[in-house]
């Protein structure tokens, strides 16, 4: 079945521009979040800020970790009264804090988070390179904080733009890309992306892995370098996310390998891409092992009165494997709804209005329907493939799905081992944002099944490489922003009514 060229061009132009509009909106909304959400009102942001500032100090970088350091940056959480506002929905931010910023004094600190390393907070690292004199001026210290928030989110936005640019350059629709671009408009995702948090690098890693899954043949040296950094950083910060890394990299390589004219097993093993995939996987695995072997016992004041013992908990799991497995599955499935993945914001004390949720549901439904049409559009070419191609794609899909399922289970399992009392019937400390790295990958994992595997050079496949219609782009440039404008007002009101 062949569609008119004009229709193909319109559909391609519409899809590419619709995704771009959503990504642009995510950048704008994220910047608004970074400014309107008061400092240290993202979960544990004050702890991450102190850890990030200390780890990026020159003395600490050089290895002198026992030195007590005094910085204006350590005074900011107290200035903005984190403890007064957090968990208190009726408490508002007082603009007086901004006026008295220049009067704060340096505070000395030796505190350090019991996980992560200097690369956990790329936003702080980059902000230090762009800010001069932050250790001598309170105003500069606050500038460092705000810039860190923006740069944390900028990394995530950059990677989704990178993914979009590869899709545009390949001149093919990737089913699921629009749903993914709408998912990143989730207020919870934007809050954690544009905050001083360890979540940013986990989101960035998911987007990077999707790039390598779908466009292994197009990635450059820069993409490999960034992947190595993200893989090692996430492995040393969030080891439970390690299982999905090798699966996505090796499946991405296999997809690339199967498109070659005359692939051979020997040439595959000698390929520099294969060696890089192995090196990246080995580096991340070693980093995770090293981090797990360190002492990550939570601070004593947090464990007061709690029966936390990892060895005894592991014995309990070995004695009751099926019970714990059901508990882990129930914990994962309870977060699979729009309410969990959109909010509440702040310290879990800023629920979103029904208006906001209604608009988000509408946008997700529309994007899902468009992606179904996109899948059918791509499928009309892919269905001509040999049954072996579909079998190969089925195997690759199963591998990716298993890796996502195992990774999702590892998240509550880690908290059950390190944060829940021995033999507990419930898992403490689990939040929906911990599952974002897995959930982000789902749309494109399903979409990859519809993409042709062996028809990249065939005449049949060339019919999908339609020139993008300006009319299609124009229609998307009108309709999608119209939907996004409907989201702006309720989101703005939710933020302002909670904190200002």
Percent of the chain with pLDDT over 70: 88
Q: Summarize pLDDT for 94-116 with one digit per residue, the tens.
A: 878 888 888 888 888 766 777 88
In the numeric block, the tokens 């689990």 are attached to: 430
**Burial bucket for residue 359 (CB in 10 Å: 0-12, 13-18, 19+):** buried
Bigger pLDDT: 452 vs 425: 425
- What is the model's pLDDT at position 37? 94
What are the domain boundaries of the chain?
5-499
* Residue 19 and residue 164 in contact, taking contact as beta carbons nearer than 8 Å: yes
- What is the model's pLDDT at position 5? 63
pTM of the model: 0.91
Cis peptide before 344 (omega within 30 of 0): yes
Q: Summarize pLDDT for 273-293 with one digit per residue, the tens.
A: 999 999 999 999 999 998 888
Closest CA to 14 of 469, 483, 485: 469
- Assess whether pLDDT exceeds 60 at residue 329: yes
H/E element holding 418? Answer: helix 387-418
- Assess whether pLDDT exceeds 80 at residue 64: no
For residues 65-77, give the mean pLDDT.
79
Q: Summarize pLDDT for 140-186 with one digit per residue, the tens.
A: 889 999 999 999 999 999 999 999 999 988 878 899 999 999 999 99
Alpha helices in 116-271 (DSSP H): 122-130, 138-170, 177-183, 187-193, 199-214, 221-237, 244-258, 265-270
For residues 79-90, give the mean pLDDT.
89
Give the tokens for residue 409: 């289970």
Closest CA to 204 of 312, 126, 96: 126
Give CA angle at 413 (411, 417), nearest 5°: 125
* Mean pLDDT score of the chain: 86
**Burial bucket for residue 431 (CB in 10 Å: 0-12, 13-18, 19+):** middle
What residues contact 492, with CB distance under 8 A and at least 6 apart?
32, 36
- What is the model's pLDDT at position 465? 40
Greatest C-alpha distance within the chain: 72
- Assess whether pLDDT exceeds 50 at residue 457: no
* Residue 113 and residue 47 in contact, taking contact as beta carbons nearer than 8 Å: yes
pLDDT confidence tier of residue 59, bands split at 50, 70 and 90: low
- What is the model's pLDDT at position 166? 93
Alpha-carbon span 264 to 349, nearest angstrom:
57
Lowest mean pLDDT among 87-91, 136-140, 476-480: 136-140
* Residue 39 and residue 70 in contact, taking contact as beta carbons nearer than 8 Å: no
CA quadruple 120, 122, 127, 130: dihedral sign? positive
Q: Is 39 helix (H, G, I), strand (E, B) or coil?
A: coil
* Residue 91 and residue 36 in contact, taking contact as beta carbons nearer than 8 Å: no
- Assess whether pLDDT exceeds 90 at residue 243: yes
Q: Summarize pLDDT for 480-498 with one digit per residue, the tens.
A: 999 899 999 999 999 999 9
Phi first, then psi: give them for residue 431, nearest 5 degrees: -130, 155
Q: Summarize pLDDT for 115-139 with one digit per residue, the tens.
A: 888 889 999 999 988 887 666 788 8
- What is the model's pLDDT at position 237? 93
For residues 21-43, give the mean pLDDT.
95
- What is the model's pLDDT at position 297? 60
- What is the model's pLDDT at position 459? 39
């Amino acid at each position: 079945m062949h569609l008119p060229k004009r229709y193909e061009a319109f559909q391609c132009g519409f899809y590419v521009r619709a995704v771009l509009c959503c990504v642009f909106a995510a950048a704008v909304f994220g910047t608004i979040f970074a400014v309107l959400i008061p400092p240290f009102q993202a979960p544990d942001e004050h702890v991450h800020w102190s850890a990030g500032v200390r780890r990026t100090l020159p003395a600490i970088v050089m290895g002198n970790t026992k030195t007590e350091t005094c910085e204006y940056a350590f005074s900011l959480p107290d200035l903005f009264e984190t403890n007064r506002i957090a968990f208190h929905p009726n408490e508002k931010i007082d603009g007086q804090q901004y006026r008295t910023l220049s009067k704060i004094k340096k505070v000395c600190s030796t505190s350090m988070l019991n996980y992560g390393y200097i690369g956990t907070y790329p936003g702080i690292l980059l902000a230090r390179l762009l800010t001069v004199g932050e250790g001598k001026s309170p105003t500069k210290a606050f500038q460092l904080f705000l810039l860190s928030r923006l740069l944390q989110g900028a990394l995530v936005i950059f990677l989704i733009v990178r993914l979009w640019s590869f899709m545009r350059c390949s001149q093919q629709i990737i089913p699921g890309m629009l749903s993914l671009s709408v998912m990143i408009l989730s207020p919870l995702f934007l809050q954690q992306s544009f905050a001083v948090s360890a979540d940013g690098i986990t989101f960035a890693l998911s987007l990077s892995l999707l790039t390598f899954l779908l466009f292994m043949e197009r990635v450059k040296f820069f993409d490999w370098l960034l992947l190595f950094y993200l893989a090692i950083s996430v492995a040393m910060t969030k080891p439970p996310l390690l299982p999905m890394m090798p699966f996505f990299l090796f499946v991405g390589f296999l997809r690339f390998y199967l498109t070659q004219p005359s692939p051979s097993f020997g040439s595959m093993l000698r390929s520099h891409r294969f060696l890089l995939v192995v090196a990246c996987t080995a580096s991340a695995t070693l980093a995770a092992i090293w981090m797990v072997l360190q002492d990550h016992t939570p601070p004593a004041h947090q464990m007061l009165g709690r029966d936390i013992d990892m060895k005894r908990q592991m014995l309990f799991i070995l004695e009751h494997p099926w019970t714990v497995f059901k508990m882990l599955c129930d914990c994962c499935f309870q977060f699979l709804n729009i309410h969990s993945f959109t909010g509440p914001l702040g310290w879990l004390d800023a629920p979103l209005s029904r208006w906001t949720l209604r608009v988000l549901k509408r946008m997700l439904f529309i994007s899902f329907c468009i992606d179904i049409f996109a899948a059918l559009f791509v499928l009309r070419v892919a269905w001509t493939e040999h049954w072996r191609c579909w079998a190969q794609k089925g195997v690759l899909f199963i591998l990716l799905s298993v890796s996502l399922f195992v990774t999702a289970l590892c998240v509550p399992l880690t908290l059950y081992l390190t944060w829940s009392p021995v033999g507990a019937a419930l898992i403490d400390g689990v939040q929906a944002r911990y599952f974002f790295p897995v959930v982000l990958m789902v749309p494109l994992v399903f979409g990859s099944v519809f993409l042709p595997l062996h028809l990249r050079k065939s005449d049949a496949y060339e019919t999908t490489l339609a020139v993008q219609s300006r009319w299609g782009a124009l229609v998307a440039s009108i309709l999608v922003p119209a939907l996004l404008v409907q989201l702006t007002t309720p989101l703005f009101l939710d933020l302002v009514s909670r904190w200002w």
